[in-house]
Amino acid sequence: MNILKIAAFSEGQTGGNPAGVVIGDTLPSTAQMQAVAADVGFSETAFAAPIDGGWRVRYFSPQSEVPFCGHATIALGAALALRHGDGVFALTLNQAKITVEGRREGNVIAAALQSPPTRSAPAAPALVAEALALFGHTPSDLDARIPPAVAHAGANHLVLALHSRQALSAMRYALETGRALMQRAELTTIVLVHAESAQRFHTRNPFASGGVYEDPATGAATAALAGYLRDLGWPHGGAIDVVQGEDMGMLSRLHADISPVAGSSVRVSGTARVMAA
């Protein structure tokens, strides 16, 4: 089995979020995919096999299957472009059909995904209180302009907006406590976000549900955040830029294009770099 290791949403030849990519004639068994993902050790590994002119895709973290992963989709788009040339590739996920495009640009591959449809709803006060306690925050740390919400773009993410960059940088939490919270609330990640401006955001993404303390770049969460900002009537002007991984020393850059149509797909783009095979 050939496993590509590709960092998605990179800053040129540095940074980004590493993902495993396995492309085969058929998908391995669920048990095999889970074992490979655990062995690779990245937050997600994408498995793809041809189906009906496109690709059947499943995503696994080291501890569980996830319904959708943005950075692994970007990594897959890069891998497909390397194998089949620049193009747009149709992907069939467990619960949605999306596309990813990839094109080579020198030493990196530019890639963009169209997320599943988005939706959002206010977060329950009990969930917000538990999440704030997990990170040692209080309601006074929140940015009232972006109220806590559960945002969805293929998976559920709790959005907590902090009013200061310093509060974001100080993120600490207990992994097992976070895992229990996320599993109980059916959250894939928690999105801690600071709005530097109307179109530029800094985020951090605890991924305890998958056994990973933090993701340095999270395309699915960025799509969910963008969809929520649209629902909120935020003055995004049709696009946002997200800086992630900076506090981990893995600077990553994500761009989201937001159509005015409520609930519609969000286009998330960036570059990817091949790490190893």
- Hey, which residues are catalytic here? 44
- Tracing tokens 């599943």 back to the chain, one arrives at 116
Structure tokens at 210: 């998958």
Structure tokens at 245: 């991984």
Structure tokens at 4: 């590509």
Q: Can you tell me the distance from the alpha carbon of 241 to that of 269, in angstroms, rounded to the nearest whole number?
A: 10
Q: Using N-to-C axis directions, what is the helix angle for 175-185 and 125-135, rounded to 10°?
A: 170
Structure tokens at 262: 């409520």
Opening angle at CA 108, ends 227 and 212, nearest 5:
55
Q: Where are the beta strands (DSSP E) in 24-96?
A: 45-51, 54-60, 65-66, 87-92
Q: Can you tell me the distance from the alpha carbon of 242 to that of 204, in angstroms, rounded to the nearest whole number?
A: 10
